[in-house]
Amino acid sequence: MLYNVSPPIDRIFLEIGPLTIYWYAVIIVSGVFVGLWLATRESNRLGLKKDLFTDLIMFALPIAIISARFYYVIFEWEKYRDGPWWGVFAVWEGGIAIHGALIGSVITAIIFARVRKVSFWQLADIAAPSIILGQAIGRWGNFVNQEAYGEAVSNAFFNNFMQYLPDFIVNQMYIDGAYHHPTFLYESVWNIIIFILLLVLRRKVNPRRGEIFLTYVIGYSIGRYFIEGMRTDSLYIIGSLRTAQVISIILVIVCVGIMIYRRKTNMVNRRYNGKKI
C-alpha cells in the first residue's frame, strides 16, 4: 500500500539569519489571534469594557503555555527526572498538553474576573467558541510536525476512506513506512462541529449563563476521549490508563454536575445575553 509518497512538509516557515520561525508557532499564534478577534467582537456586542479580552489574553496565554508544559512534564517525569534540569523548560523540543493549558487559563480567568469585577461565567461563555476554534486551528500545527497521529491504518481503511483525503494530508501521514490515522484531523473537525454548536446555542437558544462554556468542555471532552484512544503518543496516568481519557471522563461528570447544581440551587439567574430569567 503506497500512494504517491512525497517528502514531508518542511517544518520551518521562515529563516532570518539565526532566527528560525516554525509553522507550528505560526499556526498556534494564528489560532490565538482568530480566537481573540472573535471574543473581542462578541464582547463589544454585549457592551463589555473595551480591550477586556486583549488584557485577559496577555495574562492567560503565557500562563497557559507554562501550565501546559508542566502538566506534560508531570506525567512524563521519567524522561526529565535525570536531567538536564533545563529540559523541563524546553518547550521547543515538544511536549505540551491542552488540558494543562485549560487548567492554567481557567484559573487565570477566575482571578482576572475578580480583579476586574466582571462575571467569570460571562467571560467563559464568550471565550468558549474562541477556545474551541483556536484548538481546531492549532491541531494543524501537529499535522505539520507529524505528531499527535494515530496507529497505522489497515488496507481496507486506506482504500475506503483515507485515499480520498487531499494528497498533502495523506503524504504527511506516511510515517516510518506506514500510513497512520490523521487523528489531528479528526479532532480538528470535531472541534469545528462543537464551535458551530456553541454559536447556534448562544444565538438561537440563549442559554443560562455559564452553560455555553460548560457545553464546550463537555463536547470537547467527549470527542477527545474517543480520539485519544487512537493516538500513539498518549500520556499514561497508571498502567494502560490514558491520562487524557481519564481527565475527559472527570470533566464531563464535573461539568454536568455543575450545570445541574447551579440550576437546582437557582445560582443561575441570567441568560447568556445578560437578561434575568
Residue 87 domain flag: yes
Q: Which domain holds residue 174?
A: 12-197
- From start to end of the chain, where are the E strands? 12-16, 19-22, 174-175, 178-179, 236-238, 241-242
Radius of gyration for the chain, computed over Cα atoms and rounded to the nearest angstrom: 20
Report d(CA 207, CA 97) in Å as an integer: 30
Buried b / exposed e over 209-218, threshold 16 CB at 10 Å, is: bbbbbbbbbb
Contact 150, 181 (CB under 8 A): yes
| pLDDT attached to residue 157 | 94
Determine, yes or no, domain membership for 42.
yes
pLDDT at 94: 64
Residue 120 lies in a domain: yes
pLDDT string in tens for the chain (277-residue length): 555 667 889 999 999 988 989 999 899 999 999 999 999 999 999 999 889 999 999 999 999 999 998 888 888 777 777 777 666 776 666 678 889 999 999 999 999 999 999 999 999 999 999 999 999 999 999 999 999 999 999 999 999 999 899 999 999 999 998 999 999 999 999 999 999 999 999 998 989 999 999 999 999 999 999 999 999 988 888 888 899 999 999 999 999 999 999 998 887 888 898 877 6
Supply the pTM of this predicted model: 0.92
Tally: H helices and E strands in the chain: 10, 6
| Residue 256 counted as domain residue | no
Q: How many domains does the chain have?
A: 1
**220 belongs to a structural domain:** no
- Number of Cβ within 10 Å of residue 171's Cβ equals 17
Residue 251 lies in a domain: no
Does residue 3 belong to any structural domain of this protein?
A: no
What integer pLDDT is reported at residue 87 of this predicted model?
67
Per-residue pLDDT, 124: 97
Tell me whether residue 252 is in a domain.
no
